[in-house]
């Protein structure tokens, strides 16, 4: 599917600042540790080693990550958050083994990075698909969204319409961070067509005009971090106003507004997940639901002490920093009298997982067709 090929190359862009890298999968400290942990001191697993290059496989309750060949350093560029580089077992073999009780359920892309010489450039492998026999299924789809423009200096929005869309019907609407991801709305088509999921419209909102897109601007726009204490980044404020004053009115003039606030949701992944939580917390009269996936940082807190929105928060076991942050966000909302649930998936910082979460969370939000 086209969107996977594009977004896998964009994982570095989706990654959060140093905070999200501060907690990674560490060495095992007990034989019954329920969390993923690295096994140290064991003999290497050579059962599926290639002649050269990267390899990843699942053996029992273990995820085996290997690189064969001469290199100065080998580490993971995305997917699974290891604490440090792969272990050099021999001069030509790097390997790290993760013990994980849910290994057989794992589904994640693994991207290896190498440095052949100490001062050389980093090289990245093609993503390897690490999929256990009990892994969650990833919904598929092939329909494409429509594009809505607002002028050359403003971001675009992409609109995915459900199968059987009829003008005049007031559908629920989900506004997603990172507009190109709206193509993932097509992965909901099967569930909608079968009646398992009520039909909805998915709107992806870009964070910048096409010619201005870069990771630093994305961080400012979605996290609101500023060098001035107590002030939000102007990019964050401008994008929030763009969403509330331009995008939502234009979308809902064209396609109709949801019948009630609870049927208007906001969502996103990684820094986009933090942004989604911020939008719901800051605008409780606009969004009734928030889908917060792998949030990279705590959201911007503003508004009522008790959130009026319903939060579905999720992250992967193999991305410990994001998982920890997701749990903290959930606990904070609940502690203030709000409604939030947290779900962990046997995956990492990965579009496979977010695609699955999108289906699971929309089903939990809307239920089947009536």
Residue 83: what pLDDT?
A: 86
How many Å apart are CA 81 and CA 64, to the nearest integer? 14
Looking at residue 305, its pLDDT comes to 61
Residue 41, by phi and psi: left (phi above 0), alpha (psi -120 to 50) or beta? left
End-to-end CA distance of the chain: 30
pTM for the model stands at: 0.90
Tell which residue, 213, 264, 207, has the closest CA to residue 236. 207
Q: Which residues contact 166 (CB under 8 A, 6 or more apart)?
A: none
CA distances from 101 to 32, 35, 81, 324 (A): 9, 8, 17, 18
Structure token digits, residue 242: 């763009």
| pLDDT confidence of residue 5 | 28
Give residues with Cβ within 8 angstroms of 158, minimum separation 6. Answer: 145, 146, 147, 148, 179, 180, 182, 183, 203, 204, 206
Q: Could you give the CA distance from residue 312 to residue 293 in angstroms, rounded to a whole number? A: 8
What is the residue-wise DSSP string for 53-97?
A: EEEEEEETTEEEEEEES--SEEEEEEBS-BSSSPEEEETTEEEEE
Phi and psi at residue 135, to the nearest 5°: -65, 150
Its CATH class, for the domain covering 146-366, is alpha beta
Contact 326, 297 (CB under 8 A): no
Residue 278, both tokens: 């911020």
CATH 2.60.40 in the chain is located at 11-131
C-alpha 28, offset from chain centre: 26
pLDDT of residue 212: 78
Residue range(s) occupied by CATH 3.40.50.1820 in the chain: 146-366
Q: Provide the 8-state DSSP code for 230.
A: T
Q: Tokens 């073999």 identify what position?
A: 93
CATH number of the structural domain 11-131: 2.60.40
pLDDT tens, the chain, 370 aa long: 222 222 333 333 344 443 444 578 999 988 888 899 999 988 999 999 999 999 999 999 999 999 999 999 999 988 999 988 999 999 999 999 999 999 999 999 999 999 988 787 889 999 999 999 999 999 887 777 889 999 989 999 999 999 999 999 999 999 999 876 666 677 899 999 999 999 999 999 999 888 777 778 888 899 988 888 778 999 999 999 999 999 999 999 999 999 999 999 999 999 999 999 999 999 989 999 999 999 988 898 755 567 789 999 999 999 999 999 999 999 999 998 999 999 999 999 999 999 999 999 999 999 998 8
Q: Are 282 and 303 a contacting pair, CB within 8 Å?
A: yes
């Amino acid at each position: 599917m086209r969107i996977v090929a594009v977004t896998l190359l964009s994982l570095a862009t989706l990654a959060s600042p140093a905070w999200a890298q501060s907690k990674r999968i560490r060495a095992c400290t007990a034989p019954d540790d329920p969390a993923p942990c690295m096994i140290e001191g064991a003999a290497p697993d050579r059962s599926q080693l290639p002649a050269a290059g990267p390899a990843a496989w699942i053996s029992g309750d273990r995820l085996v990550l290997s690189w064969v060949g001469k290199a100065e350093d080998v580490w993971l560029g995305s997917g699974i958050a290891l604490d440090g580089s792969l272990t050099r077992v021999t001069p030509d073999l790097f390997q790290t083994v993760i013990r994980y009780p849910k290994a057989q359920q794992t589904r994640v892309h693994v991207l290896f990075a190498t440095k052949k010489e100490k001062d050389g450039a980093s090289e990245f492998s093609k993503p390897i698909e690490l999929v256990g026999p009990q892994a969650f299924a990833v919904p598929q789809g092939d329909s494409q969204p429509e594009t809505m423009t607002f002028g050359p200096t403003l971001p675009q929005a992409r609109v995915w319409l459900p199968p059987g869309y009829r003008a005049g019907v007031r559908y629920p609407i989900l506004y997603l961070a990172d507009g190109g991801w709206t193509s993932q709305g097509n992965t909901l088509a099967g569930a909608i067509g079968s009646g398992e999921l009520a039909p909805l419209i998915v709107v992806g909102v870009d964070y910048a005009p096409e010619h201005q897109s870069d990771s630093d601007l994305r961080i400012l726009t979605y996290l609101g971090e500023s060098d001035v204490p107590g002030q939000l980044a102007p990019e964050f404020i401008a994008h929030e106003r763009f969403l509330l004053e331009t995008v939502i009115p234009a979308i809902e003039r064209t396609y109709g507004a949801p019948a009630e606030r609870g049927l208007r949701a906001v969502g996103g992944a990684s820094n986009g997940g933090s942004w989604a939580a911020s939008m719901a917390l800051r605008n409780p009269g606009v969004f009734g639901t928030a889908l917060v996936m792998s949030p990279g940082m705590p959201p911007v807190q503003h508004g009522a002490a008790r959130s009026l929105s319903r939060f579905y928060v999720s992250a992967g076991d193999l991305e410990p920093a994001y998982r920890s942050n997701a749990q903290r966000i959930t606990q904070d909302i609940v502690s203030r009298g709000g409604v939030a649930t947290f779900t962990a998936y046997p995956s990492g910082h990965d579009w496979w997982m977010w695609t699955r979460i999108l289906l699971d969370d929309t089903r939990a939000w809307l239920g089947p067709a009536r």
